Structure 1
Amino acid sequence: MADFILNAPKGANKKKFIVGRGSSSGNGTTAGKGNKGQQSRSGGKTYVGFEGGQMPLYRRIAHRGFSNYPFKKEFSIINVCILNEVFESGETVDKDSLVSKGLIDSAKVAVKILGNGELTKKLTVNVDKVSASAKTKIEAAGGSVVSSTEAK
């Protein structure tokens, strides 16, 4: 059996970059910081968005109006074709059954059923929202939609 020697790929191990150790090192005197100015000083940092003393863009532009982003409600979306594959005829589709089948992670999330695909099984659906097309497909297959809000 041949002896194999493990070597790191070329360029993987670099020498530590030491500054301020004399002019012959290539990084003496100014220690790679250039000449004078704010960036060459210790502690010479600026904040994000700093424009050299000019009024920053985020303060120049007026911030008005309302954003619904913090209040938006996100739904876990499930199509009727997935319900057709996973559930048996006569079963109830609710958050607990969706968690047990592994279709959603938690019963705390809002669930919406969409009408993509075909449904051939009779199911009782009890989730947060059901689209109009999904509702017609569920009812056409002999199932029913219980206490959900219709949505577009």
Structure 2
Amino acid sequence: MPSIDLGQAVTREPALGDAVYAASAETRALRRAWKLMEPFVHGWGLPSRQQFGRLIEWSPVLEHLAYRCATRMSSLMDAIRYDILKSKMNEARLAQYWMAMHAMGNAILLSSAPEANPWLSDMAKRIQWVSWTPTFPLLRERTLWLAACAARSAIAFRK
């Protein structure tokens, strides 16, 4: 199934954004989309299995944005982790870190679904990987679930 980056398409053709918004308002698509995304956005990335199952069906549409969010979140994770390690234990900051880590894991899962297009593998070929990968924060914490999220992304990268 072919996909496009809607953000880039709207940047090239601003009228497209207006048309998409108008069409979605007529069909209640925005309300349904928000309901679908709400557990991912407001639940700090902790949707239930059923909620994630419904969301993954939309991965060809969401995968680029989800991957972009995950890679940006990896920088946030580094900053929060540094703060936690250098200061006294702050339970609120630690909870924020783990919630964000799980949100990042779900974004990685969403962007590396088998149904997704091969863009992730193509992108990986153009980058020189030296000592960092977007999934490193998921592996660093040594939890099975986060490592499984990272593994699925690594599989999507292919060779």
Q: Same fold (TM over 0.5)?
A: no
The structure having more radius of gyration, on CA atoms, is 1
Q: Going by fraction, where is strand more abundant, 1 or 2?
A: 1
> Which structure's relative contact order is higher, taking Cα pairs within 8 Å and 6+ residues apart?
2
TM-score class, shorter-chain normalisation, is under 0.3
TM-score (norm 2): 0.22
